[in-house]
Each structure stands twice: as C-alpha cells, then as structure tokens.
Amino acid sequence: MLYRNFGNTCEKVSILGFGCMRLPVLDFNPTKINIPLATEMLQYAIDNGVNYIDTAYPYHGISVTEGGMSEIFVGNVLNDGYRDDVYLSTKLPSWSVQKKEDFDYYLNKQLERLQTDRIDFYLLHGLGVNTWDTLKKLDVFEFLDSAIDDGRIGYAGFSFHDEVKLFKEIVDSYNWSFSLIQYNYMDQEFQAGKEGLEYAASKNMGIAIMEPLKGGCLSNNIPLDIQAIWDGFKVKRSPAEWALRYLWDKPEINVVLSGMSNMEQVLENVKIANDGFVNILGDEEKDLIGEVRDAYKERVHVSCTACGYCSPCPQGVDIPLNLSLLNDLYMYQNMEKPSGNYMFLNAKNASASFCDECGECEEKCTQNIQIRKYLKEARETFDKKK
C-alpha cells in the first residue's frame, strides 16, 4: 500500500480509502448488512494497508434523516482490535441540524455508535447553499473548535455537493484540514470539479475523493464502443484500474474512497493501489482516457449546459440535476447510480416528480430545450425504479 501526506495535517493516509456506504447487504435491504462478508472485506483491507475508513450517520439506513447501520457496523469491526490501526472518518448529518445543541447531540451519538472517544476526521456532510447557511447561523465554527479542543475530533473537514463558487467560499471561511469532493475523469467540471480541487490544494488542505468510479458507472456494464477503446490500447487494464490511476496520478489527491460491495472489488482495488504513484500516466495513457471521455460525451441525451437560467423552478425542481441524471442513464447504461440520486432529490422535493409542467423554465432556457418533455421522461423512468 502507498501512503500520502493528508494536506497539512502531518498524517499519512493510504491512497485507497474504504468507503462504507455500499457494503454488501441481504435481501436487497440496505439496513441488513451482510455482517460476515462485510467484516471479511474490511479486515482484509486494513490488514493490507488501508488505514482510512469512511462512513456517515445515514449510511445503510432507510432515509438520509435517520441513522443507518454503517457506523454501528464499523464500530463493531474496529472494536475487535483494529481501531488503533486506522484513521476513522464520519460525517455530521448537516441537513438534520436545526439548533446549536444538535451539533453535540449528533457528534456524541456518533461516538457512541462507533464505540470510540475520538473521530480522527470529522466532516460536515454534503454541504450546499441551504445547509451551509443554516450551519453558519448556528455558529458551526465554534462547535468545531470546541470539539477539536476537547479531543472528540482530530481534524475538521467537509464534503460537498454544489457549485464551485460556493465551494471556494466555504474553503475560505474556516481553517479546514481537508475536504471530500466528487471527482473522476468524467466529472472535471461537476460540482467543485478541477477548479475546486486545485483551489483547495493551494490552501494546503487534504483532498479526499468520492465517486471515483461514478457509482460504478465507469466500471460496470461498460458500453461496447467504450470497451473497444480500452481494449484497443497496448496496455490492458480494467476500466476500474484506468479510473483509479487517473486520480492517483494527480499529486493534489491524497486518498481515493471506494465504496466496495464485494470481496472481488476489495482484492482488485488493493492490488491496484500498490502501483498508484503520482505522475505515473504517460501522454498516450492520458490521451486514451481523453478519448474515452469524449466517447461518453457523444452519448449525451439532453444538451443541457447546466447554466442555471431555468432556475429557480416555482415548484422547487432542480432542473439541471434531473436532466443530468437522465444523461447519466444514456451515457453509462447504468440505472443504479442515477436512480439512487433521483430518490435523494425526491426526498428533498426537488425531483422531476414535482414538475407541474408550467413551462416557465422553457421560456428562460437559452438552449431552447424541451425541458418539460425531458422532465417527464425522467419522472417516468426513475419513478418506475422506486
């Protein structure tokens, strides 16, 4: 296993982190973790050098507002002689915080669930404009300072799901130690993107990456034309290995989190991580990844540029994101990732299901997109999956 300095924390983290959001389950029930298999997977990863374990309050629960089983599972495994071997990371459920007392309530509850007195890397989960405004008003900085001073958390960070302008504002607002962003070779301009990645790195923040395989879209059910590009290169690697190497090639990235669901993925990722050096990709390899990126983009279904002119929707629908989920389905031929994100949007009353077809968005669209038609397609496609 290879290790990198985690920003300016002076801690060395494994370049592969174990994300505990997609553990194997029984009977397709997200709350019923397959304990024997998941335990074997996590212990193998730790025994082979993975020292960054990431979970969150809602993981393996029935909704984002309720505590899931992931933290409890991780606490049980680490309590069996593994706690001192790893850095433990979890996240405050930012959307559930309504008053100042909630900060300590959730942190103390998480410490209990994880069976520890210290969370090494603690994040504000999934920051966006609404959650960020609420947390600022409740003086989240005072809470973080206090939790660091009393030893309940080691380092403070945040995960992010919004536009890069807000990302930079958050970066500049506090003495953060690290951030967790979505990034892969297809998401260079999505959310924080490349611009945010480089900005955080310029502040000497640690950088952790989520969705390196875009929820499996870049590694499973690869379209035949995409697979033919990979197969045509002189060096043979799996799509997952290409995606991970793309990230580890970048010196700004310290740890890549992989939400592994079976033992085969653990074995493959641990093996790949042994060769995940900085600047390891040659020009031909970078050109190959660029060719694959371009081929995926040719499969775009809706020519939405996410300019935002259609927003705000009177009904609260996040129009650009709904259209991007429809594009994901066409581009990657993978239903699991976009349908999961659609359910999250539905819980926030922002999915296409809330569109009343008023047409205001189409009047403002600079691309002359038939938005109502595509929102209806998204609704019919993803509502069937629920």
What tokens does 254 get? 């310290």
Q: Render 42-105 in DSSP notation, one character per residue.
A: HHHHHHTT--EEE--TTTTSSSTTS--SHHHHHHHHHTTTTGGGSEEEEEE-GGG--STHHHHH
Which amino acid is it at 161?
A: H
- Main-chain phi, psi angles of 127, to 5 degrees: -65, 135
Sequence-distant (6+) residues with CB within 8 A of 68 are 30, 31, 56, 57, 58, 59, 60, 61, 62
Query: Percentage of the chain with pLDDT > 90?
Result: 78
- Strand, coil or helix: 32: strand
Please state the domain extents for the chain. Answer: 3-289, 319-383
- Strand, coil or helix: 169: helix
The answer, yes or no, to whether residue 201 has pLDDT greater than 90, is yes
pLDDT, one tens digit per residue, over 28-68 is: 898 999 999 999 999 999 999 999 999 999 999 987 778 89
Sequence-distant (6+) residues with CB within 8 A of 117 are 111, 151, 152
Average pLDDT for 284-308: 90
Which secondary-structure segment (H or E) carries 126? strand 119-127
What tokens does 172 get? 């500049």
Per-residue pLDDT at 367: 77
Give, in degrees to the nearest 5, the angle at Cα 283 between 280 and 286: 80
pLDDT, one tens digit per residue, over 300-355 is: 888 887 777 788 899 999 998 999 999 889 889 888 888 888 988 888 889 999 99
What tokens does 280 get? 């390891």
The answer, yes or no, to whether residue 386 has pLDDT greater than 60, is no
CATH class of this structure's domain 3-289 = alpha beta
Q: If pLDDT is split at 50, 70 and 90, which confidence band does 238 have?
A: very high
pLDDT, one tens digit per residue, over 2-16 is: 999 999 999 999 999
Q: If pLDDT is split at 50, 70 and 90, which confidence band does 75 have?
A: very high
What tokens does 307 get? 């300019």
Q: How are the residues of the chain apportioned to helix, strand and coil, as percentages rounded to the nearest 5? A: 45, 15, 40
Per-residue pLDDT at 385: 56
What tokens does 139 get? 């003086």
- Strand, coil or helix: 258: strand
pLDDT, one tens digit per residue, over 108-167 is: 999 999 999 999 999 999 998 889 999 999 999 999 999 999 999 999 999 998 889 999
